[in-house]
Amino acid sequence: MSEWLSKTAGRFEAAFITGDRWKLYVSGFLLTFRVALIAAVLGVIIGTILAFMKLHTRSDGKRSLLNIVADFYIDVIRGTPSVLQLLIMWFVIMANSKNGVLVACLSFGINSGAYVAEIIRAGILSVDKGQMEAGRSLGLSTAQTYRHIILPQAFKTALPPLGNEFIVLLKETAIVGYVSLSDLTRTANQIASRTYDAFMPLIGAAFIYLLTVKLLTLLFAQIEKRMRRADMR
């Protein structure tokens, strides 16, 4: 038992302590979180625009061009692997750019936008139609009614799935090593190649992901509770 503990301590030291390797994990995690956060903001912006495009119809009730374009976008993005989209962005669309962070943020933001669009659209549809009529009766334009009445209620409904989308996005960024970014996953893999021991670095990275997801889950749950309390007042 003592021999096993000694070996385990040695493997832990080689993976995290020697040469201040723990700093590499911190740096990799910060890069992972930064890419996920920027991509999430971009995804919400794209998703909101797409949601309104999907809700747009012609005066005769038939599908509009905006609706068709939004559907096509969502079908293409949701129907292809995110790693393939990242590679296309890196090697084809932005082949002349060497800014891996920019490429990753754009790629994941565009990907997330397709999923967020359906979340926002569902949130808007969950708001009672009478809210629009109430806003117009108060002298607000359609745009003002959406901005001040419809969207705030829609985002409250959409918050839980949006939080889940951010968590999924955080884990999906594990593939940014394909564009030469030293994120948490790639950092763990690089350290494993140096120490010739994959167990400790990979388990360590997995633990960091797990802890982060757990903390984010608790954070979003607290935000949701506070919003419910505010609605009950």
Q: Which domain does 31 fall in, by range? A: 11-232
Query: Would you say residue 47 lies in a domain?
Result: yes
CA dist., res. 152 & res. 154, Å (int): 5
* Residue 57, strand partner residues: 63
pTM score of the predicted model: 0.89
In this prediction, residues 147-163 reach a mean pLDDT of 85
More confident residue, 183 or 226: 183
Task: Tell me the pLDDT band of 63, cut-offs 50, 70 and 90.
Answer: confident
Q: pLDDT at position 88, please?
A: 94
Buried b / exposed e along 65-95 (16+ C-beta atoms within 10 A): ebbeebeebbeebeeeebeebbbebbeeebe
Query: Would you say residue 1 lies in a domain?
Result: no
Query: Would you say residue 133 lies in a domain?
Result: yes
pLDDT exceeds 70 at position 227: yes
Query: Would you say residue 3 lies in a domain?
Result: no
Residue-wise pLDDT tens digits, 97-146: 888 999 999 999 999 999 999 999 988 888 887 777 788 778 878 788 88
Cβ-contact 27, 185 below 8 angstroms:
no
Q: What is the CA radius of gyration of the chain?
A: 22
Task: Tell me the pLDDT band of 233, cut-offs 50, 70 and 90.
Answer: low
CA dist., res. 16 & res. 204, Å (int): 9
Q: pLDDT at position 180, please?
A: 87
Task: Tell me the pLDDT band of 231, cut-offs 50, 70 and 90.
Answer: low
CA dist., res. 50 & res. 75, Å (int): 12
How many domains would you assign to the chain?
A: 1
Contact partners, residue 118, CB within 8 Å, separation at least 6: 51, 74
Query: Would you say residue 2 lies in a domain?
Result: no
Question: Residue 151: which CATH number?
Answer: 1.10.3720.10
Looking up tokens 């808007």 gives: 124
CA dist., res. 114 & res. 104, Å (int): 16
More confident residue, 223 or 80: 80
pLDDT exceeds 90 at position 92: yes
Residue-wise pLDDT tens digits, 7-28: 888 888 888 888 888 999 999 9
State which H helix or E strand residue 36 sits in: helix 22-55
Q: Which of these, 178, 180, 196, 162, lies nearest to 88 by C-alpha position?
A: 178
Q: pLDDT at position 112, please?
A: 95
